[in-house]
Amino acid sequence: MASNPPFVPSAGRRTPGVAAQRQQRGRRSELAIWWREIDRVLLVLVLSLMAIGAIAVAASSPASARRLSTAKVKLDDLHFFYIHLRWQALGLIAMFGASMLPRERARQAGILLGAAMLVALMLVPVIGYSVNGARRWLNLGISLQPSEFLKPSFAIGVAWILSWRARDPKIPVIAIATAIMAIIAMFLMMQPDFGSTVLFAGVWFVMVLMCGIPVKRIFATFGLGMVAVVIAYMFYENGRHRIDAFLGGGTAFDQVDLAQRTLLGGGWSGAGLWLGTRKFGLPEAHTDYILSVIGEEFGLLACAVIVVLYLAFVLRVMFRLLDEEDLFTTLAAAGLTAQLGGQAFINILVNLQLFPSKGMTLPLISYGGSSTIALCLGVGFLIAITRRNPFLKREGFSLRQVGAGK
Q: Is 7 helix (H, G, I), strand (E, B) or coil?
A: coil
Q: How far apart are the first and last CA of the chain?
A: 93
The pLDDT of residue 34:
85
Q: Which residue has the higher pLDDT, 281 or 90?
A: 90
What's 254-322 look like in SS3?
A: CHHHHHHHHHHHCCCCCCCCCCCCHHHHCCCCCCCCHHHHHHHHHCHHHHHHHHHHHHHHHHHHHHHCC
Helix axes 194-211, 146-162, angle to 10 degrees: 10
- Reply yes or no on whether the pLDDT at 285 is more than 90: no
CA 144 to chain centre: 15
Q: What are the CA-CA distances from residue 139 to residues 145, 166, 288 (Å)?
A: 9, 41, 23
Q: Is the pLDDT of residue 399 over 70?
A: no
Q: Read off the pLDDT of residues 310-328 as tens digits, 9 standing for 90 and up.
A: 999 999 999 888 878 888 9
* Whether residue 169 has a cis bond before it, omega within 30° of 0: no
Return all residues near 22 (Cβ < 8 A) that are at least 6 apart: none
Reply yes or no on whether the pLDDT at 387 is more than 80: yes
**Average pLDDT taken over every residue of the chain:** 82
DSSP at 396:
-
> What does the alpha-carbon distance between residue 253 and residue 13 come to, in Å, rounded to a whole number?
77
How far apart (Å, rounded) are the C-alpha atoms in residues 149 and 373?
8
Section 362-377 average pLDDT? 92
Of the pLDDT bands very low, low, confident and very high (cuts 50, 70, 90), residue 339 is very high
pTM for this predicted structure = 0.83
Residue 20 pLDDT exceeds 70: no
Alpha carbons 29 and 286: distance in angstroms, whole number: 41
Q: Report the pLDDT value the prediction gives residue 239, as an integer from 0 to 100.
A: 59
- Per-residue burial over 204-227, b = 16 or more CB atoms within 10 Å of its CB, e = otherwise: bbbbbebbbbeeeeeeebeeeeee
What integer pLDDT is reported at residue 308 of this predicted model? 96
At residue 246, does pLDDT exceed 60? no
pLDDT digit string (tens) for 162-204? 998 878 888 888 889 989 999 999 899 888 788 888 899 999 9
Evaluate if residue 231 carries a pLDDT over 90: no
pLDDT tens track for 54-74 = 999 999 999 999 888 877 888
